[in-house]
Every structure is written in structure tokens, then in C-alpha cells.
Structure 1
Amino acid sequence: MEQYIAESGNVPPGNAPGEKKWQTRRVRRARPEIKLTPGKGIEDLTCSVEDLVDRVVKDNKVVAFIKGTRTKPECGFSYQVLTLLNKSQVDYEVVNVLDEVHNPGVRDAVKNYSQWPTIPQVFVDGELIGGADIVTEMDDKGELVNVLTAATAKS
């Protein structure tokens, strides 16, 4: 900057006092993951874990069952799915299947519910669209953003 000022006699564009163009923006906090129970244990549930999974899938337009959290996925496939969902810029929910305190038994329950053997799993409008491989394939074909946008646009 000093060299620029010495050569031109002016402050470089965007560096003048009061310049608003280069202001830092506050980073929005990530939404928390869905917790299916208050964390007291599976014995305190008044319904089955499968019923809780069904309710989450049906009550949310887009929901991803992943290993880890939005901000800290714990496997590469979950990271891949979150990256694609974030890229689409639609609202979505996340359930951490590894959280045995708040989501006891969800990892197996969601596999039984969907009849799909792997995690992550992405549901749109109450239906499984697939895991990381299928979501990636849909993105490559340009289909993912259309499916997600159509689902979130419905009231």
C-alpha cells in the first residue's frame, strides 16, 4: 500500500476511510441439528425410534441423516452431501445418526425405514432420494438443485 501511495499520491481504491465496499460481514450461525429426544435415554420414549424418523422425514421438506453435524461431518460421504446441499442454497435439516444421547438408535432405524443400507441418506418431500453417490450424480446432471428448489418452494 505504501508503494502505491508513493507512486500515485492516493490511497488505493477500497482502502479510504469510511469505505463500505470491503466491510467484513458477520458469519451466520449454522442451524442446529434435529435432536429426536431430550437426551434422557431410549427408555423414556413414548413411541418407537422408527416413528420419530418417520415424523422427521414427513415434517421436513429436505432432511439429511448424516454422520456428524452440519459444521463437523464425521465422514467424507456426509461432508460431500452437506457440500452439495449448501451449494444448492436451500433450507434443509440435519440429523446426526452418531448422537446416541439425543438420537439413540437412529442410525439403524433410518436404514430400516428407508431400506437403504448406508448413511448419509437424503429425503425430499418425504421420500428417499439417495445417499452420497446418487446425490452427487443428480448434482452432476443438474437435477439436484431443481428437485430441492421445487420441494422447498411448496407451502
Structure 2
Amino acid sequence: MSFLRTALASAPRVAALSATSASSSSSSRLASTSVRAISTISPRAGVQQSPRLASSSTRPTIPFSSSSSSLQISIRSLSTETRSKLDDITKSAPLVLFMKGNPDMPMCGFSRAVVQILDVQGVNLKKMKTVNVLEDEEVRHGVKEYSDWPTIPQVYVGGEFVGGCDIMLNMHQSGELEELLVKNGLITDSNPQSTETPAQS
């Protein structure tokens, strides 16, 4: 009987020891798991990463592709080629007109107006070169950058940019256009000054 009482009295202590051991084992596993989790935290971002992401962060960085640099170089090269092309065109004749369409069939009212102004001024068509920008997108957009002028038509005289439709109309009305055309040999002076000495009576 005394043995039974001793066994019953010691049972709570055994249960407590078992619970303590189980708790200790669980805490040990939890601590081990926490250590592994902490080891995967990025020191820079301070956020937890998965082991796969953590291992990938140690891989060597692949250099950024230079395709964008090559594209920029090709654009600059194209711009240079276009500029050289426009240099040749603007100097290919005493007067060069960039327009939409051609003198016989202008494709916009502003181009038609410039053709009419030059016709009224009496410009010799053999001394004038026209460029239909609708046939060449590179020239159509490039000439605007070339002259720093946003619209078509554009007129060049002696290789120099004169202006578009509004400027040509203003110069025509003021007489400046006639002077410019005479100076560049595109028309003859309509009011030549006489160099003859008046006859004495």
C-alpha cells in the first residue's frame, strides 16, 4: 500500500518533467528554425527571403546589354547621314524647294502658294530643284530638324534656308524676295538702274 501511495505521489512530478522535456525539445527545434530563417534575411533590405532567392543573390551580376547604346549610336549615325544628304540637296541648285507634291500637282495649299509666288516672280524652273517630301520619310522629317523649322514647304536659296510659306509671302510683298532672287541670278532685275550718262542738249 505504501508503494502505491509513493507511485501516485511521484506521478505529477514525472508528468511535469515530461512536459518540461517536451517543451525544451520544441523550443530547441523552434530556435533552430529561427536561426535558419534569420540566416536568409537580406542585410540590405532587412526582409526575409526564401533560401532560393538568398542563394541567387550570391550569383555574379550579368552585365547590362549594350543594345541600347548601339541603338543610340545608329540613331546618331542616321542623323549624320541625313544631314549630309540634305547638305547635298540644298546645294544642288540655286533654289531648292521642299514641298508636298510637285509644281504641277502640289499636295497642300501652302506648297501651292509658294509655287505660285515663285512663278509670279518669274523664277527659271531650270535653276530650281523641287523635292517631294511625301516620297521620302527620312527627308520629310529630317529637313525639319536640319532647318529648325517645323513645317513644309521650305525654300533654300544659295544653300541657305529662307523660310516657309508665310515668310515667302511677306518677302514677296515687301520686295525682299525679288532682291534675293536677283542677287542669286534666279531672275533678272525688273527695274534695272540706268548706268548711261544722260545726253546733254
TM over 0.5: yes
Task: Name the TM-score, length of structure 1 as normaliser.
Answer: 0.63
Which gives a bigger RCO, structure 1 or 2 (Cα 8 Å, sep 6+)? 1
> What number of residue pairs does the alignment pair up?
105
| Between structures 1 and 2, the one with greater helix share | 2
Distance 1:84 1:48 in 2: 32
Contact 1:62/1:152, CA 8 A, preserved across alignment:
no
Counterpart contact for 1:90–1:152, Cα < 8 Å: no
Give me the whole-angstrom Cα distance separating, in 2, the residues matched to 1:119 and 1:83.
15
**CA–CA distance in 2 between the matches of 1:152 and 1:108?**
30
Secondary structure, in 3 states, of the residue corresponding to 1:129? Answer: strand
Distance 1:63 1:111 in 2: 14
Specify every segment of 5 or more residues in structure 2 that has no aligned partner in the other structure, as ranges: 1-77, 187-201
Alignment check: 8 A CA contact 1:88 1:145 kept: yes
CA deviation vs aligned residue, 1:61-86 (integer Å, no higher than 9, x gap): 11110011110001100000000111
CA RMSD, Structure 1 to Structure 2 (Å):
1.7
Does the alignment pair 1:95 with 2:131?
A: yes
Structure 1 residue identity aligned to 2:107: E
The equivalent of 2:159 in structure 1 is 126
Q: Counterpart amino acid of 1:84?
A: I
- Once the two structures are TM-superposed, the CA of residue 60 in structure 1 deviates from its matched residue by 1.5
Aligned twin of 2:174:
141
- Report the equivalent of 2:144: 111
- Aligned equivalents of 1:65 and 1:114: distance in 2? 11
**How far apart, in 2, do the equivalents of 1:105 and 1:68 lie?**
16
Corresponding position: 1:77 with 2:100: no
Decide which structure has the larger Cα Rg and report it: 2
Identity %: 42
Q: Partners in 1 of 2:111 and 2:98 — Cα distance?
A: 9
Report the Cα distance in structure 1 between the residues aligned to 2:133 and 2:185, rounded to whole angstroms: 23
SS at match of 2:84: helix
Task: Give 1:55 shift.
Answer: 0.6
User: Unmatched 5+ residue regions in structure 1?
Assistant: 1-44
Report the secondary structure of 1:48's partner residue.
helix
